[in-house]
Structure 1
Amino acid sequence: MTKFFFFNKKFDKFFSMNYLFFIMLFFSTIITINASSWFNAWMGMEMNLMFFMPLMMNNFKKIKISNSMMIYFIIQASSSSFMVMMMIMMKMQFVLNKMNIMMNMIQMSLIMKLGASPFSWWMPKIMKNMNWMTLFIFLTWQKIGPLFLLIINNNNFIIYISAILSSIFGTLMGLNQTMIKMLISYSSINHLGWMMLSMMLNMKIFFLYFIIYSLINLMICLFMNNLKLVFINQLFNYNNQNLFDKIILLSSFLTLAGIPPFLGFIPKFILLIVMIKNKLFIEIIILIIMSVNSLSFYINPVISMVIFMKMNFKWNNEIFFINKSIFSILFPNMFINLIMMTPTIYNFI
């Protein structure tokens, strides 16, 4: 009993330290966004790395998460060192052509930090060992710093190539996944392509897309965290549960896919209109084809629950009371926001 008591005290102390890590994670991103020089931005990203790695240990799977932490540290440290080397060379060179090449190299290091294609191979390897709430932070908050630094650069060609490759790679690699976290990881790569294209065309669309994408991921991560789901075949055991939770899960994945009339359709629709005005017809065809193909792996997590569904309208208040109280507030707000935000489409066009 005494060993168990001290073991719990260690766990409580560890979880109490998480609040400090969250606060420092917030301030490190603020330092990166408001940096007046590349050195200050680099310092903010390094602080962000050091305070995010302890949060990855929350699942207490020592061997698996240690491998993921090592991969994450090597990728982030190598891209940061490459970025610092280019910063030093920029101070030494004064030729304009070489300066542009070094800025492009800095841009590629930021894309590597972001996890966009063609440097996205490391993301699924570390995301499959995270717990759901750490995964949500990695998908949303950890993307803010590199994305804002990409906005500063004037050359959009590298961002354009990375955006197209991310939309293609994220769709094709997510087709045959059986693990829900792997599916979410390749979905994030696909959405990164959309966000980077919106960043090139209109910053308002980018902010709208990122906010909606973060809200959708919050819904999915909360749901999966409460149900303790890891693999898609585990949803076969969930087909006898109530209809309300099935509708929530189905609508969350369809919202992430961008199907009308759900909330995720708004930023994609606005971006496609702006791309038509800029005569990016080939890019529109690629994005639409990849979005249609990605519907197959968005529907896979819920197809077992829908096909083998037994109509059960009984409310199980003992188990799902907290879930219902949360999602009954968040889920109707998605449709209310969809109705209220449709007049704002004309502000972006």
Structure 2
Amino acid sequence: MFFPFNFLCLSCLFLSVMIVISSTSWYTAWVGLELNLLSFLPLILTSKMNLSFSEASMKYFLVQALSSVLLLFGSLMSSYSAYALVLVFFALMLKLAAAPFHFWVISIVEMMSWTSVFLLFTIQKIAPLVLLFSTFVVYETSLLALLFIIFSAVIGSIGGLSQCMLRSMMGYSSINHMSWLLSSLYVSRELMESYFILYILVLLPMIILFLNSSFFHVSQLSHIMFSSKKVLSFFCLLSLGGLPPFLGFLPKWIVINKLVEIHMLMLILFLVFMALITLYYYLRLTYSSFMISSSSVFSLNLTTGAYPVSFWFFSMVSLMSLPVCVFIFT
């Protein structure tokens, strides 16, 4: 990797997010989104210059260009009619890959490095989520948000059941978490920010594990040789699924409490049921990986060195933070 070039792209990526957050007009926000797109594309390509990475960047560019056109057109028309914000709403949902506009993200993540996948699931969602809250001033967008919440919960949970590739599974997990993010945004922007920060903390140790070990297939998880590392890794995976008493349960717990306050009980039951399905394929993944011995799995040039300190640190944060938070705030 050419580090100065990557550092420049990452700096422009964070700058574009700050432009969107601080923007006072749709045009300024659109400029920030375009800078965000142009900063992220080189980060996809600099991982490895091969055909799959080029195809991923081209697909990502086409989808984001389409959503940018819709957003610009809707924002221009919003000065004549508030209902044009519905078009902006659809454009932002396309950028977020919320179901049923999720068709592009699963095919793209399979052709990306783990670093690019992490950026796609985290940093690339900040700007659209911030702008999405501005469209909720129209009643119709609030109703449409409920449909996207339902679709994202169903597709994110059921779609991951048939996956054996880790990046696709993480993609469907991200879609399921999008339903919870939209539900939190339905309540308040502050709740969405809290959920998003906790989601990053829970996702990070798994990305570090997969990146450090070059894991891409479910069967490769059995190559984690030491039992302590294996147990810690799968506890982090269950934390990502939202199993108590891990940190991944905390944001869902907060969202459930806030939704109870506004009497959206049916939505809570639906989200919890879909989260249980998501947790089921994490548990199935854990069980099968413990049962399969590494000698029975095909050899795939795996990196079996020591895990970095960042993995141990964020794993402890993911596993131990919930009891600490409960102790502090009660």
SS in 2 for 1:59: coil
Separation of aligned partners in 1, 2:177 and 2:304: 33
2:66 aligns with one of 78, 98, 101: 78
Displacement of 1:308: 4.3
Give the direction of change, closer, same or farther, for the CA distance of 1:62–1:196 in structure 2 (3 Å limit).
same
The Cα offsets for residues 121-146 of structure 1, whole Å up to 9 and x where unpaired, read as 10111111111111111100000000
**Match in the other structure for 1:295:** 279
Displacement of 1:286: 1.0
The Cα offsets for residues 227-265 of structure 1, whole Å up to 9 and x where unpaired, read as 1111112223x15x0012101210111001100000011
Give the direction of change, closer, same or farther, for the CA distance of 1:215–1:87 in structure 2 (3 Å limit).
same
**Match in the other structure for 1:50:** 38
Contact 1:258 1:264 in 2 (8 A): yes
* Counterpart code for 1:42: W
The Cα offsets for residues 29-81 of structure 1, whole Å up to 9 and x where unpaired, read as 10011101000000000000001000001332521122211111111111111
Separation of aligned partners in 2, 1:105 and 1:329: 43
Contact 2:191 2:255 in 1 (8 A): yes
* Counterpart code for 2:212: N
Aligned runs of 1:34-183 on 2, under 5 Å? 34-60=22-48, 62-91=50-79, 93=80, 99-153=81-135, 154-155=137-138, 156-183=142-169
1:224 aligns to 2:206 (yes or no): no
* Counterpart code for 1:105: L
* Counterpart code for 2:91: S
The Cα offsets for residues 256-282 of structure 1, whole Å up to 9 and x where unpaired, read as 110000001111112112222222121
Displacement of 1:299: 2.5
Stretches of structure 2 lacking an aligned partner (at least 5 in a row) = 295-302
Give the direction of change, closer, same or farther, for the CA distance of 1:335–1:221 in structure 2 (3 Å limit).
closer
| % same residue | 29
* Counterpart code for 2:82: N
Give the direction of change, closer, same or farther, for the CA distance of 1:66–1:328 in structure 2 (3 Å limit).
closer
Contact 1:248 1:327 in 2 (8 A): no
Scaled by the length of structure 1, what TM-score is found? Answer: 0.86
**Match in the other structure for 1:339:** 323
**Match in the other structure for 1:268:** 252
Contact 1:173 1:186 in 2 (8 A): yes
Separation of aligned partners in 2, 1:134 and 1:229: 15
Contact 2:212 2:307 in 1 (8 A): no
Separation of aligned partners in 1, 2:30 and 2:94: 14
Displacement of 1:320: 4.2
The Cα offsets for residues 197-251 of structure 1, whole Å up to 9 and x where unpaired, read as 0111133332221111111111111000111111112223x15x00121012101
Separation of aligned partners in 2, 1:286 and 1:75: 30
Scaled by the length of structure 2, what TM-score is found? Answer: 0.90
SS in 1 for 2:85: helix
**Match in the other structure for 1:315:** none
Separation of aligned partners in 2, 1:332 and 1:171: 26
Displacement of 1:112: 0.7
Separation of aligned partners in 2, 1:151 and 1:137: 21
Stretches of structure 1 lacking an aligned partner (at least 5 in a row) = 1-10, 94-98, 311-317
**Match in the other structure for 2:193:** 207
Separation of aligned partners in 2, 1:256 and 1:291: 11
Contact 1:64 1:129 in 2 (8 A): yes
Separation of aligned partners in 2, 1:168 and 1:206: 20
Give the direction of change, closer, same or farther, for the CA distance of 1:88–1:79 in structure 2 (3 Å limit).
same
The alignment's C-alpha RMSD in Å is 2.0
Contact 1:164 1:193 in 2 (8 A): yes
**Match in the other structure for 2:300:** none
SS in 2 for 1:122: helix
Structure 1: which 4+ aligned runs deviate by more than 4 Å?
A: 343-346
Q: Which moved more, 1:331-340 or 1:166-175?
A: 331-340
Separation of aligned partners in 1, 2:161 and 2:65: 31
Separation of aligned partners in 2, 1:257 and 1:208: 17
* Counterpart code for 1:75: V
2:176 aligns with one of 190, 211, 221: 190
Separation of aligned partners in 2, 1:268 and 1:171: 15
Q: Which moved more, 1:144-153 or 1:204-213?
A: 204-213
Displacement of 1:305: 3.1
**Match in the other structure for 1:251:** 235
* Counterpart code for 1:286: F
Displacement of 1:345: 6.1
Displacement of 1:301: 3.4
Separation of aligned partners in 2, 1:228 and 1:41: 37
Structure of higher CA gyration radius: 1
The Cα offsets for residues 80-119 of structure 1, whole Å up to 9 and x where unpaired, read as 111111222234x2xxxxx232011111111111111111
Separation of aligned partners in 2, 1:132 and 1:287: 28
Give the direction of change, closer, same or farther, for the CA distance of 1:64–1:334 in structure 2 (3 Å limit).
closer
**Match in the other structure for 1:96:** none
Displacement of 1:344: 6.5
**Match in the other structure for 2:298:** none
